[in-house]
Amino acid sequence: TKIKVEYFMPELINDKESQGKLGYSYLCNDITKDPYENFCLYILSGLFFDGPTTPFYKNIIESGLAPAYSPGAGYDMTTKEAIFGIGVSNINPTKENIEEIEKAIIATLNQVVKEGIPEDKFEAQLHKLEIQVKKTRDHWGLGVISNMINYTVHGGDPLWVFNINEHLERIR
């Protein structure tokens, strides 16, 4: 593990022991190829990170290893090749602490592979998405256009965002 500790404008930092960030980024898929794969990875991201009952929350945040996820944690489809990030912020950047967090991240991934995700949590995540999609809210059109831009810019089908019900049926 390569650990690099630097401080930008150190004279402005009050608490250097809580300024560290640790992250892993995994290059995933070309977002223009298979919208269903994007959908599945988005759901997986929610199952990993959304809420206090998720594996990463329990094993990393609730356990006290880190107080928060880092920006970019989860599935990011803003570039042509999506990224899945797993990371924490506001940690003490000592070698020992970073190694402990790395072990917990790997152990959590192994736990999910071994035990899977409980069906009720999976259904709850799908239901949450259904509600988000169907709920009328301010600036709904702007949100839809925002989700379409990445596909349009990279040559994909921007209308895939309207196929959520089809993807929900398929994943079930």
Q: All domains of the chain, ordered by start, with CATH?
A: 20-171 (3.30.830.10)
User: At 43, which helix (H) or strand (E)?
Assistant: helix 35-49
Q: Tens digit of pLDDT per residue, the chain (172 long)?
A: 566 666 666 666 667 677 788 999 999 999 999 999 999 999 999 999 999 999 999 999 999 999 999 998 999 998 999 999 999 999 988 889 999 999 999 999 999 999 999 999 999 999 998 888 777 677 777 877 887 888 888 888 888 777 888 999 899 8
Q: How far apart are CA 70 and CA 157, in angstroms?
A: 30
Contacts of 29 (CB under 8 A, 6+ apart): 37, 38, 41, 81, 82
pTM for the full predicted model: 0.84
Residues 6+ apart with CB under 8 A from 90: 18, 19, 20, 21, 66, 67, 68
